[in-house]
Chain A
Amino acid sequence: MRVEVTRVAPGRPFLAAVEIATDPHWHVYWRNPGDSGVPTRIAWSAPKGWRVEPLEFPIPRRFAPGGVAAYGYEGKTFFLARITPSTTPGGIAAKASWLVCSEACVQGGATVGARVPLGAVKPGPYAKALRSAHLALPRPGAGRLRARTGKGVTLEATFASPASWWKRAEFFPSESGAVDQAKPILATLQGGKIVFKMERSPFPEQRSQLKGLIVFASGPRRQAVQVETKLEKE
Chain B
Amino acid sequence: MTTLLALAVLAAPAVGAPAPAFSLPSVGGKSVALTDHKGKYVVLEWTNRDCPYVKGHYDKGGMQATQAEAKKMGAVWLSICSSAPGKQGYMDPETYKGYLKAQKVAASDVLLDPDGKVGRLYNAKTTPQIVIIDPKGTMIYNGAIDNAQTDNPTPKVNYALQALSEAMAGKAVSVPTSRPYGCSVKYKD
Contact = CB atoms under 8 A, between A and B. Distances in A.
B123 A202 contact: yes
Interface residues of A, number: 23
Contacts of A101: 183-184
B88 A66 contact: no
B142 A66 contact: no
Contact residues of B: prevailing secondary structure: loop
B74 interface: no
Contacts of B184: 35-37, 65-66, 68, 70, 101, 105
A203 B180 contact: yes
Interface residues of B, number: 27
Contacts of A68: 125-126, 184-185, 187
A99 B185 contact: no
A152 to B, nearest CB: 13
A6 B155 CA distance: 44
Interface string B62-87: 00000000000000000000000001
Contacts of B173: none
A38 interface: yes
B149 interface: yes
A106 interface: yes
Nearest to A35: B125
A72 to B, nearest CB: 12
B58 interface: no
B179 A38 contact: no
A67 B12 contact: no
Interface in A39-96: 65-68, 70
A205 interface: yes
B52 interface: yes
Contacts of B114: none
A103 B181 contact: no
A159 B60 CA distance: 52
B32 interface: no
A176 interface: yes
Contact of B183 (A105, A202, A203, A205): A105
B182 interface: yes
B182 A36 contact: yes
A107 interface: yes
Interface string B158-189: 00000000000000000001111111111111
Contacts of B53: 38, 99, 105
Interface of A: 33, 35-38, 65-68, 70, 99, 101, 103-107, 176-177, 202-205
> What 6 A-B pairs are tightest by C-beta distance, nearest first?
A36-B184, A68-B184, A105-B183, A66-B187, A104-B88, A176-B179
